[in-house]
């Protein structure tokens, strides 16, 4: 591969965009997924895809939970788009794999061939080719494959740690942006509400919120599943747990107002994987407070116009999955919390 001169690539991967020309890989409808690397790319031998929760839920529902149909759907998306970007949710996920080749002009000293890495950029912008799906279970959003992918020069990644099993690291790193943003937003004494607190990102957010809010703060969890809600209580990851449907705005609003004595929350984190929970998040947050929408099922239009419509002057934050230092912070939660580690090992390893 290194005998011939490698083609020069754009830092942001625009050289891979087939349609529409002039855009970037994430919003593009089709990428070139031929696996001959440009001078600033890394070729990855992919072992596992971690499909993001909103996308996996949509695929599962569309296929009626049939594993064979889900495989077919994933393969057809990649065939059509050259990347795994769910056409309904627009979201992707991330992957783990082994570095197979490194472009001559990829930043030096960052990686070597043979390194096992997790990409910290979305599959919705990653050129991907799937040769075969080795294992897919409707219950887990981790899909084992044979295939290859490309990482651009601008793409972040984490070399997998030795002390945490690969699939556990992948599960945690997939949502690393969420607890990292909670760490930035929540301060001592805050009242925090985590909607969808019983899922993977929710659990990590609960842990971080409890650490930051401290004994004088409150962490309220709204969770649809009674089983997940019980898990949060058993693990002491919240001060208050509400079992409710987050799409039922007034029900959740009244329950949260009861707990907060009518003052609402300083910070609300939305981790749900279904649409139409924007107004619940907005109503329970006090004026000048923060709503962090980590969920890929969020509609910016509903959130922005909805907040305006109910006269709420609050800070709406779109869940950028990248936050500086997010990989280390999240892996350290797995190291610090025996309960979370054991739960995630049971679910993902």
Instruction: Give the CATH number for residue 221.
Output: 3.40.50.720
Closest CA to 169 of 335, 52, 336, 1: 335
CA–CA gap between residue 243 and residue 114 (Å, rounded): 46
Residue 112, both tokens = 């070597």
CA–CA gap between residue 243 and residue 236 (Å, rounded): 16
Give residue 55's pLDDT. 94
In a domain, 165, yes or no: no
The verdict on 151 and 274 lying in the same domain is no
Q: Determine contact, residues 293/314, Cβ cutoff 8 Å.
A: no
Q: Determine contact, residues 207/338, Cβ cutoff 8 Å.
A: no
The verdict on 48 and 95 lying in the same domain is yes
The verdict on 198 and 333 lying in the same domain is yes
- 43 torsion bin: left (phi>0), alpha (psi -120 to 50), beta (else): beta
The verdict on 200 and 148 lying in the same domain is no
Structural domain of 191: 177-348
Block residue for tokens 């990292």: 180
| Cis peptide bond upstream of 245, omega within 30 | no
Give residue 3's pLDDT. 54
The verdict on 154 and 295 lying in the same domain is no
The verdict on 141 and 214 lying in the same domain is no
Give residue 321's pLDDT. 84
Give residue 329's pLDDT. 97
Give residue 109's pLDDT. 77
Q: Determine contact, residues 183/212, Cβ cutoff 8 Å.
A: yes
Mapping DSSP to helix (H, G, I), strand (E, B) and coil, where does residue 180 land? helix
In a domain, 254, yes or no: yes
Residue 182, both tokens = 């909670």
The verdict on 182 and 321 lying in the same domain is yes
Per this entry, what is the length of the chain? 349
The verdict on 255 and 332 lying in the same domain is yes
Closest CA to 315 of 209, 202, 185, 188: 185
Residue 15 DSSP symbol: G
The verdict on 119 and 209 lying in the same domain is no
Query: pLDDT 10s per residue in the chain (349 long)?
Result: 445 789 999 999 999 999 999 999 999 999 999 999 999 999 999 999 999 988 999 999 999 999 999 999 999 999 999 999 999 999 999 999 999 999 999 987 789 999 999 999 999 999 999 999 999 999 899 999 999 999 999 999 999 999 999 999 988 998 999 999 999 999 999 999 999 999 899 999 999 999 999 999 999 999 999 999 999 999 999 999 999 999 999 999 999 999 999 999 999 999 998 889 999 999 999 999 999 999 888 899 999 999 999 999 999 999 888 899 999 999 999 999 999 999 999 988 7
CA dihedral for 196, 117, 51, 66, sign (positive or negative): negative
Strand partners, 94: 50
């Amino acid at each position: 591969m290194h005998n011939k001169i490698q083609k020069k690539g754009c830092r942001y991967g625009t050289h891979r965009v087939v349609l529409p020309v002039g855009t970037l890989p994430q919003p593009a409808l089709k990428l070139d997924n031929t696996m001959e690397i440009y001078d600033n790319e890394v070729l990855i031998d992919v072992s596992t895809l971690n499909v993001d929760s909103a996308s996996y839920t949509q695929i599962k529902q569309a296929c009626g939970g049939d594993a064979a149909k889900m495989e077919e759907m994933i393969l057809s998306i990649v065939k059509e788009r050259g990347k795994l970007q769910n056409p309904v949710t627009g979201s992707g996920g991330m992957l783990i794999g082994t570095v197979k080749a490194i472009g001559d002009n990829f930043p030096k000293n960052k990686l070597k061939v043979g390194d096992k890495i997790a990409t910290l950029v979305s599959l919705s912008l990653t050129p991907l080719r799937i040769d075969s799906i080795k294992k897919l279970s409707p219950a887990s959003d981790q899909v084992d494959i044979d295939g290859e992918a490309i990482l651009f020069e601008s793409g972040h990644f984490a070399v997998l740690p030795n002390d945490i099993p690969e699939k556990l690291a992948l599960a945690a790193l997939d949502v690393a942006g969420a607890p990292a943003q909670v760490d930035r937003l929540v301060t001592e004494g805050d009242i925090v509400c985590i909607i969808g607190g019983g899922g993977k990102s929710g659990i990590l957010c609960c842990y971080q919120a409890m650490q930051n809010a401290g004994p004088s703060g409150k962490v309220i969890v709204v969770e649809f599943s009674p089983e997940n809600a019980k898990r949060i209580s058993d693990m002491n990851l919240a001060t208050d747990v509400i079992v409710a449907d987050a799409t039922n705005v007034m029900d959740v609003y009244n329950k949260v107002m009861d707990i907060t004595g009518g003052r609402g929350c300083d910070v609300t984190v939305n981790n749900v994987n279904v649409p139409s929970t924007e107004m619940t998040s907005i109503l329970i947050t006090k004026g000048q407070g923060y709503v962090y929408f980590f969920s890929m099922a969020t509609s910016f239009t509903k959130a922005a116009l909805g907040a305006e419509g109910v006269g709420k002057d609050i800070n709406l934050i779109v869940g950028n999955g990248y936050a500086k230092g997010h990989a280390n912070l999240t892996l350290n939660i797995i190291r610090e919390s025996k309960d979370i580690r054991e739960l995630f090992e049971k679910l993902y390893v």
